[in-house]
Structure 1
Amino acid sequence: MGIFRFFRISFSLWGYAGWLLLVRLRLLRHAESPAQRLVRVIERLGTTFIKLGQGIGLRRDLLPDEYVDALEGLQDRVAPFPGEIAVREVTAALGAPPTELFADFEKEPMASASIAQVHRAHLKDGTEVVVKVRRPDIKRQVAQDIWLLRTAVRGVLLLLPFLRRYRPLDILAEAHEVLQQEMDFCQEARSMQRFREAFKDWDTVNIPAVFEAFSTESVLVQECSHGRRVDDPTIGADGPRLAKNFVDAYLHQFFILGLFHGDPHPGNLFVMDDGRICFHDFGLVGFMDRETRRNLAAFMQAFVRQDADWLLDAYLDLGVLASDLDEVTYRAGLEKLLDDYARLPLKDWSFAVAFARIIRMGQGRDVRFPRNLLILMRTLFLMETTVRSLDPDFNLLDGLAGQAEPIAKAAMKERAETGKVRLGYEAGIALQDLPNSVGKWLRRVRKQGLEIRLQHHGLRDLERHLDRSSNRLALALVTLGLYIASALLMQVESTVYLWGMPLPAVIGFALALWFTLRLAASISRSGRL
């Protein structure tokens, strides 16, 4: 079974590569764009590739907008599995059949996707819930597909080594990690509980309750919420209020909670009858520590104030750009970016687009994108799209940057208070230990004399580099010597000939060729000369 799947994957991917080559050479007319064709190929390959495509679509630093938009639009067009199988999965996960756990359980799913499908049900107390059931055997299928795809990618890299600069295996591992998290409903349940606790006192946001007693790694039971999609045209005049509430909710997530919903597309956002915005599907969640939150606030402030130097420093602090980049080139690019935005009306400014343009300046060479910042960038794009659908005139500068600074300052003030408490505690401990520590130090000085230790950093790496370089140089000299000696042996008479050449010369050329291949392989593995 695995070998047939491998051939199907390889045939599909190489078929797309061949089609793309013919299109680029203008030897083939095409009715669909390369991005649309890629999406069609991915959808035919099934669940694993659909979710991987959605994950790879986060990489705006590497992919053109056309491909990003197409991959983000990947649809989980997967037929539902029979209700009897859902009953079996619920029974295996919860230890009892749905008839014993729920007052009623609809076998016919209300929605179906690539990882799971959803069934309506009622608890014994009458509470209306939805039961999310993971597809049977999906974890084994994903693990097999990832292994096969990794094998295929390694084969491609052997034939096309220049693709290594894009780190396809790292991107694949990153997307696989995201997929594994989406398949773990326990993690989704924990995220929902954290969000519900964080917004419990808000009268503008609703997070459905999750029932922990009925939730496992493969089954999730949550409160059923009703409402209109956030892009419903009947929302009309209520759009500006909802846009403001939506932005306020995300500012709280970004700068206070440090945890944010990573997939705010209209299908995951409902407007309830009481006017609250209800968030759904917490399979993709991003996290930012305090330092990242502070640096994000700095980026927003630098962008608003049109300060190229501050903007570059904020990007370096976020860890997005390598510290050894060409700052002059980047600063010039940032000044051009800010000049472009200065010509636009304020309501058309976009943090998400600016974020993406900056990381594309280095064409993938100077960019090191942590996964949570990839999720953040995707979230910003979806968030801005949702806000503008609710209120086309919404000023994101006032809504985001205008409120980001005071919120971030409040969060930092809270951190400073915590820091003062810790400082007092650590200072007290240090004062208690000071006499004893000084006594031990004086005794060591009296017995052993005064020692000053110097600790170096980086010399060990330099030593390894010099050792590796000297080995390569020695091997290259030996190889050169073999080539010269073999050439001279060609002039010597011999009793044994092979392919019309003296045997000693053939042996010498063979050894020289072998050393040459070893040297080339070593350089290829290291990625540098």
Structure 2
Amino acid sequence: MIDFLFKNSVRMAETALVLGQAGLGWLLGHRPPAPRLLRETFERLGTTYIKLGQFIASAPSIFPAEYVEEFQYCLDRTPPVAFSDIKRILKEQYGRDPSELFRRIEEKPLASASIAQVHEAELHDGRVIVLKVQKPGVRDIILTDLNFLFIASRLLEWFVPGMERTSISAIIEDLQKTMMEECDFLHEARNLKEFREFLDRTGIDFATAPAVYEELSGPRVLAMERLYGVSLTDLDSIRKYSKDPEQTLIQALNVWFLSLMACDFFHADVHAGNLLVLEDGRIGFIDFGIVGRISKEIWSGMDLLMQGMNAQDYRQMAEAMTRIGAADRDVDIDVFANDLKTIFESMQRMETAAFRSGQVDEMEINHLVLSLSEAGRKNGIKFPREFALLIKQFLYFDRYIKILAPKMNMFQDARIQRTGLIG
């Protein structure tokens, strides 16, 4: 308890120092626009605030557009911690020296984010795996930061007129639950296990997800099968592993759409780094730290929305999105439909050189999600955050289609199995 209180006090002092430096910079003339200043401050404050910034970026129905757009730049990439710290955490996790379990562990990480970093390792029997290792002190920092933010938000709701309607404290509380789950790697291990069971149950052998080494995994270490492959945007490399890149993409789409029906969750972050074409031609889904769960009521609206997108029936799309969201007034469907037509026609015109060259523009995808949410807000509709997650995945796949199968229509092609969405 004393140790926790000490760490809590140190973290509060660090936070005060960063805020003080930001304030001093403002007084000395460093006065960028408020959204950029807040984003820069969040990045200096580290893990919790980076995650909060990413939440802001993914919730255009909750936060002002200028903040949502600015926080698209809030990257979850941080300098790696020393390998000696990684070895110490592994020793604490396993209760013995890591050399007893691993023939080697690569000191240079494959990736480093705010919560964890990933290292390649080799077992004594020759199997190559990856270790996702939580960085030191992350959980205590998150708890301290979010407790402080929750108390501050409650005070704002009590003392600032109108603030209670924003439900900031409820957002912080939800974020705390999500981040605590993300800090428990056993939760991600369960997601991986469940997704693999879904693939087995449905007889899908052309896709996979990393197997978990449960005996080597725990709350702070996730040991997984090492998958070797290339990004779904790397057409030249895909051709080495697949005779038909278009069919490979169709298979990826079918797996993802089927997971909406037959799995308890959907992969909510299918960006190019998390969707691979493996050396044996299969599709590899990796990183199940972010998943989405949607109620049947929202699924009903999504089915109607996809039918509308298929027929380019903007009125039906407006009716579907009205069903999905919570309206605070009567919605003029014709006006909303016209707004949606403007947005989707703009999307269809975006055949940019970047897409043709194999690049997926993350900023443009986020901007389109923001445009849809802004159209909803303009017409009195507030969408759940999960809706934005879903739409974002559709947009990722739309970009992959532009690269791998430019003549294909995701909502019209009979090879893509979307039927039975409601189940």
Q: What's the TM-score once normalised by structure 1's chain length?
A: 0.64
Report the equivalent of 1:271: 277
Aligned residue for 1:285? 291
Alignment check: 8 A CA contact 1:132 1:220 kept: yes
Return 5+ residue gaps in structure 2 as ranges. Answer: 1-9, 352-363
1:343-400 deviation per Cα after TM superposition (whole angstroms, max 9, x unaligned): 6796879999887555434538955544543432443343434443444444233259
Corresponding residue SS for 2:124: coil
Structure 2 counterparts to residues 359-508 of structure 1, below 5 A:
359-361=373-375, 363=377, 366-367=380-381, 369-399=383-413, 403-404=417-418, 406-408=419-421, 412=423
Task: Specify the alignment match of 2:3 in structure 1.
Answer: none
Equivalent residue number for residue 177 of structure 1 = 177
Counterpart of 1:520 in structure 2 is: none
1:321 corresponds to which of 311, 317, 326: 326
Shift of the 378–338 alpha-carbon distance from structure 1 to 2, 3 Å rule, reads closer
**Using the alignment, how far apart are the partners of 2:53 and 2:39 within structure 1?**
8
Distance 1:378 1:14, change over 3 A: farther
1:105 aligns with 2:114: no
Tell me the equivalent position of 2:234. Answer: 232
Residue 70 (structure 1) shift: 4.3
Residue 412 of structure 2 aligns to a residue whose secondary structure is: helix
Select 1:7's aligned residue among 13, 16, 22: 16
Q: Residue 190 of structure 1: CA displacement?
A: 0.7
- Matching residue of 2:207: 205
The partner residue of 1:340 within 329, 339, 342 is: 342
Change (3 A) 1:73 1:400: farther
* Paired letter, 1:173: E
The residue aligned with 1:194 is 194
Q: Secondary structure at the match of 1:337?
A: helix
Q: Is the 8 A contact 2:56 2:67 kept in 1?
A: no
Question: Does the aligned pair in 2 maintain the 1:268–1:281 contact within 8 Å?
Answer: yes
| Matched positions, count | 395
Instruction: Output the CA distance in 2 between the equivalents of 1:12 and 1:253.
Output: 47
User: Does the Cα contact within 8 Å between 2:318 and 2:340 map onto a contact in 1?
Assistant: no
Consecutive unaligned residues in structure 1, runs of 5 or more? 413-529
Please identify, of 182-191 and 274-283, the stretch whose mean Cα deviation from structure 2 is larger. 274-283
Answer whether contact 1:270 1:277 (CA < 8 A) is retained.
yes
- Kindly tell me: are residues 53 and 344 of structure 1, through their superposed partners in 2, closer, same or farther at Cα, counting changes over 3 Å? closer
Q: Which amino acid aligns with 2:199?
A: F
Match of residue 494 from structure 1: none
Q: CA deviation at 1:177?
A: 2.4
For residue 276 of structure 2, give the secondary structure of its aligned residue in structure 1. strand
CA displacement, residues 81-134 of structure 1 (integer Å, 9 cap, x when unaligned): 222222221222233321222233334433221111112212233211011111
2:182 matches 1:168:
no
1:221 to 220, 223, 227: 223
- Secondary structure of 1:222's partner? strand
**Amino acid corresponding to residue 127 of structure 2 in structure 1:** T
In 2, distance between residues paired with 1:242 and 1:51? Answer: 33
Alpha-carbon distance in 1 for matches of 2:184, 2:149: 22
Contact 1:55-1:178 within 8 A present in 2 as well: no
- Describe the shift of the 1:97–1:307 C-alpha distance in structure 2 as closer, same or farther (beyond 3 A): same
SS in 2 for 1:109: coil
Work out whether residues 315 and 321 of structure 1, in 8 Å CA contact, stay in contact via their aligned partners in 2. Answer: no
TM-score (norm 2): 0.78
Give the secondary structure class of the aligned counterpart of 2:411: helix
Q: Secondary structure at the match of 1:295?
A: helix
Q: Structure 1's 294 and 69: CA in aligned 2 closer, same or farther, altered over 3 A?
A: same
Which residue of 246, 258, 261 maps to 1:255? 261
Q: CA–CA distance in 2 between the matches of 1:161 and 1:377?
A: 34
CA contact (8 A) 1:346 1:397 kept: no
Partner Cα separation in structure 2 for residue 335 and residue 260 of structure 1: 28
Query: How far is the alpha carbon of 1:282 from its aligned partner?
Result: 0.7
Tell which has more relative contact order, 1 or 2 (C-alpha 8 A, sep 6+): 2
What are the Cα deviations for residues 10-47 of structure 1, in whole angstroms up to 9, with x where unaligned? Answer: 4477689x79xx99xxxx7x6xx765544332211111
Instruction: Report deviation, 1:217.
Output: 1.1
Distance 1:390 1:42, change over 3 A: farther
- Whether the 8 Å contact between 2:115 and 2:138 is mirrored in structure 1 is yes
The aligned residue for residue 47 of structure 1 is 47
- Structure 1 distance, partners of 2:65, 2:414, is 24
- Deviations 1:130-152 (CA, angstroms, capped at 9, x unpaired): 11111122111111111223344
Equivalence for 1:115: 115
Contact 1:62 1:360 in 2 (8 A): no
Counterpart residue number, 1:513: none
Secondary structure of 2:377's aligned partner: coil
Letter in 1 for 2:211: A
Tell me the SS of whatever aligns to 1:81: coil
CA offset digits 1:303-323 (Å, max 9, x no partner)? 4345566545534543x214x
- Structure 2 partner of 1:143: 143
Counterparts of 2:367 and 2:87, CA distance in 1: 45
* SS of aligned partner of 1:118: strand
Indicate the structure with greater helix content: 1
Equivalent AA in structure 1 for residue 177 of structure 2? E
Change (3 A) 1:306 1:321: farther
Q: Which residue type is aligned with residue 174 of structure 1? A: D
